[in-house]
Amino acid sequence: MNVQHTLQPFYDRHSKVLILGSMPAVKSREVGFYYAHPKNRFWKVLSLIYQEEIEDDITKKQAFLKKHYIALFDVIQSCEIQGSSDQSIQDVIPNDLQPILEKSQIQAIFTTGQKAYHLYQNYIYPKTKIKAISLPSTSPAYCKKGVLEELVQEYQKIIPYTNDSGK
């Protein structure tokens, strides 16, 4: 099924870190914001690395992201995809990151999962020449014992880019 990316990029002029997924999951498209599946550990991981509660409310999640200079978007503008399965992605049309890069202070780009990383490398890196740092997926499809601790350890890589210096 051909799916169009329906979420707006989330960023402001102070954003320093851009976190890119591949394509919003079905639940995220329904809710209208990123990482909305209740079993996705994205928000839990951010809560743990910043040692702050993040309420399950889009406005409060957005305030949290702004406070920590984090922008969210996805690599794909449209593609063929079955449900939310990254493995089924075909016929990719990438998103244009230039508006975000021009209107913010992005210092680092991170991808969530190998598919997002490979798609970024193939479609977006040749245009931006900004290297992405690959982070593990927080998707419920990759929910095994001990993963939360590994995710927290890996996601701490974003912290040096989200401090107040240089604002």
> What pLDDT does residue 166 have?
44
> What pLDDT does residue 167 have?
42
Decide if 167 is inside a domain: no
Q: Give the count of domains, the chain.
A: 1
Structural domain containing residue 78: 2-162
With a CB cutoff of 8 Å and minimum separation 6, the contacts of 109 are: 17, 18, 19, 20, 120, 128, 130, 131, 132, 133
pTM: 0.93
Q: Which residue has the tokens 């245009």?
A: 127
> What pLDDT does residue 74 have?
94
Decide if 84 is inside a domain: yes
Judge contact between 103 and 130, C-beta under 8 A.
no
CATH number of the domain residue 44 falls in: 3.40.470.10
> pLDDT per residue over 13-44, tens digit each?
999 999 999 888 889 989 999 999 888 999 99
Decide if 153 is inside a domain: yes
Decide if 26 is inside a domain: yes
> pLDDT per residue over 87-144, tens digit each?
778 899 999 999 999 999 999 999 998 999 999 999 999 999 999 999 999 987 665 5
Decide if 83 is inside a domain: yes
Judge contact between 157 and 133, C-beta under 8 A.
yes
> pLDDT per residue over 36-74, tens digit each?
988 899 999 999 999 999 999 999 999 999 999 999 999
